[in-house]
Amino acid sequence: MIIVFDIGNTNIKIGLFDGDDLLDTLRIASSNKTGDEYWLLINDLLRLKNKTVRDFEGAVISSVNPALNYTFEHMVETYFGFKPMTVGSGLKTGLNIKYDNPRELGADRVADCVAAYKLYGGPCIVIDCGTATVFNVVTADGEFTGGAITCGLKTMAGALADSAARLPKVELSVPKHVIGKTTISNMQSGIIYGYSGMIESMVARIKRETGMSQAKVVATGGISDIVNKCVPVIDVVDRTLTLRGLNIIYKLNSEKHRQVRSDRGADKAKENL
């Protein structure tokens, strides 16, 4: 088994894999904790799933939160007893990255595209609906050609409430009508249907610009289910896409990055069983 960590700006998603099978997922908040504090949380969650560090032979990390990179690398090495694989330049992905500076490309975007192309085929447009909304484009030949980044739905809603003194924070639920009769329903309509219209427009523009009219549109992220209710352009919703991509990347590179438990790590693992 391996454990994968997708470190985001808001949450850290964790996947437990046995081969291709995603056995379970865990989620904790991204915050200013030490590696030991994160370990206490993760160890408790693993116990609830009847798992211990002894069940895992490797780990892979993707991160868009640089402040937590060393924390998690150190935590895995100390308590799991092996050095984790970190997604970055030099790893095999199965994609041909056509980006002016590949080092600028977020590891989560790479993992999303790896999984979408492997699992659903190309060409594809991959949309990650998280803190930011990220569009990624992959050709039929597996070339990542670029994309676009804009605000996420929660970010938009929070900015509206914070910037206008008389507007409240609202629940992100789909209103029955576009024309609302209350301030809250007005805001829900504008935020959700306006955001959904942006998704439709961007997908249409990407298809026109690339000529990939038959591209499969794959959505992931915490808001993808809401968006899918409002737009007809999404073909697949897979909220585990990033985790699955990390598992694929690990398998592509596992021989090169074979991980062996250190004596120190094994001792630490025994202490925490």
Supply the residues annotated as catalytic.
108
163 CB-side CA count, 13 A: 6
The alpha carbon dihedral of 82, 88, 91, 95 has a sign of positive
Closest CA to 113 of 147, 85, 152: 147
Burial string for 81-100 (b: 16+ CB within 10 Å, else e) reads: bbbbbbbeeebebebebeee
Separation CA 202–CA 129 (nearest Å): 13
Amino acid (1-letter code) at residue 65:
N
Q: Residue for token digits 């690398």?
A: 73
- 3-state SS assignment for residue 265: helix
Could you tell me where the beta strands, DSSP code E, fall in the chain? 2-7, 11-18, 21-29, 58-63, 85-86, 96-97, 124-129, 132-138, 143-151, 216-220, 236-237
Closest CA to 195 of 231, 170, 160: 231
